């Protein structure tokens, strides 16, 4: 089975490449990145601002059930070419992680399939590796927490 989403992270480089082939025509894929309510649905976050144009900007925010902000990110949209590309920055306000530069390229593969290529450039190799490790570390934490939940009743 070939994987639909691929990650290419070469050793010693400060960028990574994410590619994904979608079972969607190009215009629908692109629309998922443009319309705020659609972005909100698939990203699972509130879209405070999404000004899709050259020199535009965006801001997303996620709150927990009590209304506390758990995640807020923003960036500027450097270049916006409908159905072709979005070049933007991405910065998480709620952490001190440095801003990233993202190149998103959209292409049509057939009438009902399309492909997204996303290149993310980080401030340094170490920052890229840290970002790659994050879900792994979180996974470990979750496993650890589960283990603790299993163990604590025994104490």
Partner 1 sequence: MNLRRDVFQAIADPTRRAILLLVASQAMTAGAIASNFGTARPTVSKHLQILTECDLLAQEPNGREILYRLNPGKLKELADFIEPFRKLWDERFNTLETIMKNYKARE
- Of 52-60, 76-84, 102-110, 136-144, the segment contacting partner 1 by CB under 8 A is 136-144
Helix (H) or strand (E) segment spanning residue 141:
helix 125-151
Structural contact between residues 116 and 20, judged by C-beta atoms closer than 8 angstroms? yes
Size of the site for partner 1 (CB under 8 A): 32
Give, to the nearest 10 degrees, the angle between helix 36-43 and helix 26-34.
Answer: 90
Q: Do the strands 56-63 and 100-110 form a parallel or antiparallel pair, or are they unpaired? A: unpaired
| CB-nearer residue toward partner 1: 67 or 135 | 135
What end-to-end distance do the CA atoms of the chain give, in Å?
45
Residue 5 within binding range of partner 1, rule CB under 8 A? yes
In angstroms, give the least distance from the CB of 108 to partner 1: 14
Residue 42 within binding range of partner 1, rule CB under 8 A? yes
Task: Map residue 70 onto helix, strand or coil.
Answer: strand
| Contact set with partner 1 (CB under 8 A) | 3-7, 9, 11-12, 18, 20, 22-24, 28-29, 31-32, 38, 41-44, 116, 129, 131-136, 138-139
């Amino acid at each position: 089975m070939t994987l639909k989403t691929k990650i290419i992270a070469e050793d010693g480089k400060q960028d990574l490449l994410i590619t994904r082939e979608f079972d969607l025509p190009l215009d629908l894929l692109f629309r998922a990145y443009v319309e705020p309510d659609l972005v909100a649905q698939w990203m699972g976050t509130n879209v405070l601002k999404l000004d899709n144009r050259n020199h535009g900007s965006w801001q997303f925010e996620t709150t927990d059930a009590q209304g506390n902000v758990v995640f807020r990110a923003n960036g500027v949209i450097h270049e916006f070419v409908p159905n072709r590309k979005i070049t933007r920055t991405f910065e998480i306000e709620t952490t001190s992680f440095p801003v990233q530069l993202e190149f998103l390229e959209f292409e049509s593969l057939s009438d009902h399939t399309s492909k997204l290529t996303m290149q993310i450039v980080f401030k340094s190799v170490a920052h890229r590796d840290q970002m790659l490790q994050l879900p792994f570390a979180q996974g470990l934490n979750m496993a650890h927490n589960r283990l603790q939940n299993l163990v604590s009743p025994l104490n």
